[in-house]
Chains A and B, each alone.
Chain A
Amino acid sequence: MKKVFLLSLVLLLTGCNITVLDPKSETASEQAFLITFSFWIMMIVVVTVFILFARFVWKYRYTNSRKHILPKDVKGNIKLEITWIIIPVLLLIILAVPTLAITYDQSPEWTKESEDAGIEIDVTGKQFNWLFRHRNGKEEMDKLVIPEGESIILNLRSEDVIHSFWVPELGGKVDVMPGKELTYEIKHPQRGTYQGKCAEYCGLGHTDMTFQVEVVSTQAYAQYLHQ
């Protein structure tokens, strides 16, 4: 329910299909929600400043009739100055609440015994390929197959430099660190084929360090594991 609500809100607010704002998983939906939500709050600021700016520049511009005016000195105005401290603070508090909730839930962490149940997959990055290993030991290079609707728990690790795992439709980035395993969760992906990429500059072949993601039905996933 929450997911449907968020999704429709996001789509309503953007009305276009920019990849990140057209999410295909719950994780990505929450992020897209934050993005559009903050966008509209920030538009309030932008519009206010632009209007004041245009008005003042136009109204107080130099003209021949105002040539000899010596403007009155205004040292400041405590009330006004407090206003533009308080209002931004309020806007930021409004922004902070959902940010905290979602960040708390989503932040990648060093692997600990995870309580969340889900499909666990080991991801190894190395210059310049991705290796995905499923629970039963099945491995595939540069192609990640996952079942729809489940929680996918990724354990990521690098063999050399830092890489970053990113599938824009399914969620944000997680860095892939040498010598340390990070865990990131993708909740409820929807069926489809997406492109994943490395988002942390990692050397010569960085641009080409891409991979394919296929989100398939649960049965198809079971079949895939035993192919």
Chain B
Amino acid sequence: MKLSVFGYELVIPTDIIAAWVSVILIGIVAGYIIIKKRKLGVVWDYMKTTNHRKIGILYLLFGIIYFFRAGVDALLIRTQLAVPNNDFWVFQGEKYNELFTTHGTLMIFFVAMPLLLGLMNIAVPLQIGAKDLAFPFLNSLGFWLFFAGSLFFNIAFFLNLTPEVGWTGYAPLSRAEFTPGAGTEFYVFGLQISGLGTIFTALNLIVTIIRHRAPGMSYTRMPLFAWASLITSFLILIAFTVLAIALYLLMFDRLFGTGFFSGDEGDPVFWQHLFWIFGHPEVYILALPAFGIFSDIISTFSKKRIFGYGTMVASIVLIGFLGFMVWVHHMFTVGLGPVVNTFFAITTMAIAIPTGIKVFNWLFTMRGGVIHFTTPMLFALGFIPSFVIGGVTGVMLSLSAADFQFHDTHFVVAHFHYVIIASTILGVFAGLYYWYPKITGYMLDEKLGKWHFWTFLIGYHITFFPMHITGLEGMPRRVYTYSEADGIFILNAISTVGAFLMGISMLFVIWNVYKTHKKKKKVSGDPWDGRTLEWTVSSPAPEHTFEPMPVIHSMDAYWYAKVKNKPLPATTNVRVKPLERDSIQPFCIAMSLFIVSTGLTFRWYWLAILGGVMLFALLILRSITDEREDFYGKSDDHA
């Protein structure tokens, strides 16, 4: 669309206009509702909160919002690919490249990560008997950094400056000489800020799990979701640090013309190494927490303890460890040579073994149990076969010479969606249905939940199964069209139908949430007849939990107490609760980084300096405020 403003000719693509219009409309409606229902106070409360459940809710809320946005991208991708030589709206060439870049980046960093971090934030402290995360202020800061980063990344689209370097940002394409626009900066800074928040949250979880378990809750009695969260947090700590370094170097290459990733002194392959040393563990960062959720859910709804707890924990640890030794399987075609290729082919195959152990242990947990087909359990059941399909194509991809054919085709697209959707997305859905009572006090409607499950699962297989074949037929990924002669029209059309079925299934979620909150039927603290500690506190989880503190003598202690019809033993002699003080500082710190990034992106260095000054002022302010004062009173003895 052409506009003329003050005599300037402005060309604005129609998709951008559509985005502005829809966001403004949604904004007006949301604003109206908030003001009408006098909820401004709630918004302010959440902006300052340092409570783990509320921060978890914020993570979940934004994860879901971005899931819808990235899902719309996916539907646009599939519409463009539905028929050969398609000319759908504006999504050819550049716009298509922007589509898959936003879709991929959002899904990984701003959907999967916050949804998992949200669930960890809410459930882990409740599962291990901690009264909150160890550092409530840091927790809030972690969220707001994530928020600032995601906001920064998303704004790019509204300015028609969407990055188009793929979610992998390969150099030298991502260097300034090939993508000179500001688009790539949105990728670099968006991920950098949110990644920093993720690292903080991981640190927080590690300390919480190590230091704040209930008395008697030894490592051999900890629920598997807590175990998975612990190992995942270590993976985040290492992997996201590597990503931060990679992005930092890329930032220097782009802004100041250093040559880390090209030219004589640098090498574009360095970027690939750094990116995948982050990127492969990232896959496990997304999968392990989901494994943990499924372990708890399968055991709860089979009414049996998990089969082979020891090997389950060992395989989580082993997967986490091996996860750092396989990154080159993304680079078999780069020319690192036969020795490197074979080494990484073997390490990659090896990782299938601990994964296999887990699958069989889940199966044998159900054996001899009484399986209740609740919605969370259905998602867990849907996960097992789907994940196995993604797993075996993973082994096929690890055969390096075969990967020369698979690499960068739709076979790979099929593979990683099978793995990520089966584990992370089904896992998050399972977790949401499972812990919804703990989060809100209401139970989601089971019937709508089942509709959601079946339409989503069927749609997912219809979408991605055909892609295995289109890939083998020679369809590369990241291409916006194909020709009739390629003979892949029918398969692509089927994929598109499946994608829309998945889209429809999400409408059930919206309806379900609406219905549940309309009905306002409160549930008890233990609606699922659960096994772990989170079911001992009331629903929704109050701000002050575990008073008195339960003492743990076995795994699934709550379950065995119920079986024996005795209450859990309790004590009042406990570690003090992490000090919680509402504060708007985390939000401000995150926003100051947002300002720095804006300044650097557009080379408005004065703005960057302004943001930097703000940041340092806030850090100084933070280090001179003593939260303990208004808690313990002003005195010197606690110093």
Footprint of B on A, CB under 8 Å?
18-21, 28, 30-32, 34-35, 38-39, 42, 45-46, 49-50, 52-53, 56-57, 60-62, 66, 69-77, 80-81, 84-85, 88-89, 92, 95-96, 99-100, 102-110, 160-162, 164, 166, 168, 171-175, 177-180, 182, 195, 197-207
Contacts and interface: CB of A to CB of B under 8 A. Distances in A.
B352 A160 contact: no
Q: Which 6 residue pairs spanning A and B have beta carbons closest together?
A: A172-B404, A76-B308, A42-B392, A168-B474, A107-B338, A102-B401
A110 B337 contact: yes
Interface residues of B, number: 86
Nearest to A23: B405
A28 B350 CA distance: 26
Nearest to B388: A49
Nearest to A20: B472
7 contacts: A49-B363, A60-B367, A81-B308, A107-B336, A161-B178, A180-B335, A203-B179
A142 B326 CA distance: 35
Contacts of A89: 353
B41 interface: no
Interface stretch (B339-347, B432-440, B582-590): B339-347
B384 interface: yes
A84 B479 CA distance: 41
Interface string B81-99: 0000000000001101100
Given A20-B473, A60-B368, A76 B353 contact: no
A20 to B, nearest CB: 4
Given A19-B474, A20-B474, A61-B373, A161 B172 contact: yes
A102 B403 CA distance: 12
A57 B366 contact: yes
B357 A57 contact: no
A46 B478 contact: no
A162 B304 contact: no
A92 B401 contact: no
B170 interface: yes
Contacts of A103: 338, 341-342, 345, 399-401
A92 to B, nearest CB: 5
A162 B370 contact: no
B567 interface: no
Nearest to B308: A76
B115 to A, nearest CB: 26
Nearest to B93: A204
B22 interface: no
A166 B476 contact: yes
A178 B262 contact: yes
Contacts of A84: 356-357, 360
A171 B407 CA distance: 12
Interface of B: 93-94, 96-97, 164, 166, 170, 172-173, 178-179, 262-263, 267-269, 302-305, 307-311, 332-338, 341-342, 345-346, 349-350, 352-353, 356-357, 359-361, 363-364, 366-373, 381, 384-385, 388-389, 392-393, 395-396, 399-409, 469, 472-474, 476-481, 563
A62 B372 contact: yes
A168 B408 CA distance: 12
Contact of B338 (A32, A104, A173): A104
B302 to A, nearest CB: 7
A61 B371 contact: yes
A60 B366 contact: yes
B392 A199 contact: no
A173 B471 CA distance: 13
Given A19-B473, A107-B400, A197-B474, A60 B364 contact: no
A173 B392 contact: no
Contact of A69 (B305, B341, B364, B370): B370
Contact of B476 (A76, A81, A199, A204): A199
Contacts of A198: 476
A89 B349 CA distance: 9
A180 B384 CA distance: 44
A173 to B, nearest CB: 5
A196 B573 CA distance: 72
A34 B399 contact: yes
Given A38-B402, A49-B359, A69-B370, A80 B408 contact: no
Given A103-B401, A161-B172, A201-B166, A207 B345 contact: no
Contacts of B481: 207
Contact of B363 (A18, A34, A53, A102): A53
A45 B152 CA distance: 44
Nearest to B481: A207
Contacts of A69: 370
Contacts of B333: 108, 164, 172-175
A92 B353 contact: yes
Given A60-B366, A100-B342, A161-B178, 8 more contacts: A18-B473, A19-B472, A45-B388, A57-B371, A70-B303, A96-B349, A177-B269, A207-B480
Contacts of B371: 57, 60-62
A203 B478 CA distance: 10
Contact of B173 (A56, A88, A201): A201
Contacts of B396: 35, 38-39, 42
A182 B359 CA distance: 41
A21 B473 CA distance: 8
Contact of A71 (B303, B408, B472): B303
A31 B333 CA distance: 14
A117 B99 CA distance: 45
B616 to A, nearest CB: 38
A133 B173 CA distance: 25
A170 B42 CA distance: 63
| Best-surrounded residue of B372, B389, B402 (most CB of chain A within 10 A) | B402
A173 B164 CA distance: 23
B407 A173 contact: yes
Contacts of A109: 335, 337-338
A186 B353 CA distance: 34
Contact of B405 (A45, A77, A168, A202): A168
A207 B335 CA distance: 23
Contacts of B381: 57
Contacts of B409: 199
Given A19-B473, A207-B480, A30 B93 contact: no
Nearest to A86: B353
| Best-surrounded residue of B333, B364, B371, B403 (most CB of chain A within 10 A) | B333
Contacts of A95: 349, 395, 399
B93 A108 contact: no
A20 B474 CA distance: 7
Contacts of A175: 333-335
A220 to B, nearest CB: 24
Contacts of A173: 333, 404-405, 407-408
